[in-house]
Copies of this chain bind each other. A is one copy, B any other.
């Protein structure tokens, strides 16, 4: 196991406490990161329905998933084999039966007549169909939103979690170096992306890496005017902007970061934007400390860039950590007006004030961990526009 059993027990206890506050007898956990966090389960099996059923009054959660993945649950979780429930293969992508018929039966056999059940209602892997089959199978249950319960428990990282995130940060330093060094006019974008992938997974001489929850985001030219395009089948040209939003990953823990490269001389617009954003980022990283609200960080940024040509209407950061595709964000804290979360030591935030105008993009971000007195970065990479 990657964590001491006492750490898993503590996570489960915190989860059950949060369930109790909401009056839940049962929580169905479908977020693969939450499944991993509570039990260690790790596999690319989330393309079929799977999850945990956490009963308030039972010691261990029950893992459910496809039969052919149940040995994976035995290998990667701390759960007793009796709490691993593989459903038959004919439930997979069927137009007559659904895995949540099995989940409903399981709950009916173990719970009170009218249990109060929390479900992760906006999680990618809890579809409208899951809700429908669960409700139909448990007509007396009171099913309510229990989304983000485990995500909020995940917000504050333990010492071991931070160790893995710093390992991810070490990988990230290699990854970012690789990308910045290789980008040149005439080089194929896919060849740079290939070396970026290799660096992410090969890791360091001491440890190898894991796949991040988001692909390397590395668009060039016109494609930098938006946030989530990536490499294309072409070669870099002279005087092109290249955005790099990349991450190291170790044991599913991330260290994301973005930087920008230009293959030539920056024009006035890019020059001004890059200086404003880097100054704003520096101000924010110096400002972040425990006891302040998430929205205060955003206000500090807004103040730092005021009077410049930079317009930034979207959030400037979010909590991140352990995750699976499609996102390394935790969907809890956002650095934006209205988010009154008070920052605490052990929280990890990607301060990401990406700028995408109709003519260009610029990204320079920092992944920070909140300490007792301020914050530290997970990787040491110069905050600059890289001119090649």
A131 at the binding interface (Cβ < 8 Å): yes
> What's the nearest-Cβ distance from chain B to residue A147, in Å?
8
| Given A71-B226, A194-B202, A124 and B121 contact (CB-CB distance below 8 Å) | no
Whether B70 pairs with A226 at a CB distance below 8 angstroms is: yes
Residues in chain B near residue A42, CB distance under 8 A: 229
Residues in chain B near residue A177, CB distance under 8 A: none
Render A33-55 as a binary contact track against B, CB cut-off 8 A, 1 for contact: 00000000011111100000000
Among residues of B, the one whose C-beta sits closest to the C-beta of A50 is B228
Whether B47 pairs with A313 at a CB distance below 8 angstroms is: no
Of A183-191, A254-262, A266-274, the stretch lying at the interface with chain B is A183-191
Whether B189 pairs with A208 at a CB distance below 8 angstroms is: yes
A60 at the binding interface (Cβ < 8 Å): no
- The 8 Å CB contact of A43, one of B189, B226, B231, is B226
Residues in chain B near residue A358, CB distance under 8 A: 71
A236 at the binding interface (Cβ < 8 Å): no
| Given A127-B127, A191-B202, A67 and B313 contact (CB-CB distance below 8 Å) | yes
Whether A201 pairs with B208 at a CB distance below 8 angstroms is: no
A126 at the binding interface (Cβ < 8 Å): yes
| Given A127-B128, A128-B131, A130-B128, A190 and B194 contact (CB-CB distance below 8 Å) | no
In the bound complex, what is the Cα–Cα distance between A217 and B336 (angstroms)? 38
In the bound complex, what is the Cα–Cα distance between A334 and B48 (angstroms)? 14
Render A78-111 as a binary contact track against B, CB cut-off 8 A, 1 for contact: 0000000000111011000010000000000000
In the bound complex, what is the Cα–Cα distance between A225 and B71 (angstroms)? 6
Render A143-163 as a binary contact track against B, CB cut-off 8 A, 1 for contact: 001010000000000000000
In the bound complex, what is the Cα–Cα distance between A65 and B318 (angstroms)? 19
A287 at the binding interface (Cβ < 8 Å): no
Residues in chain B near residue A98, CB distance under 8 A: 122
Greatest chain B CB density within 10 A among A122, A188, A209 is at: A122
Among residues of B, the one whose C-beta sits closest to the C-beta of A199 is B194
Residues in chain B near residue A75, CB distance under 8 A: 222-223, 225-226, 229
A-B contact pairs, 15 of them (CB 8 A): A42-B229, A45-B227, A47-B326, A47-B329, A75-B223, A89-B313, A98-B122, A121-B128, A122-B129, A124-B127, A127-B128, A190-B201, A193-B208, A194-B201, A211-B215
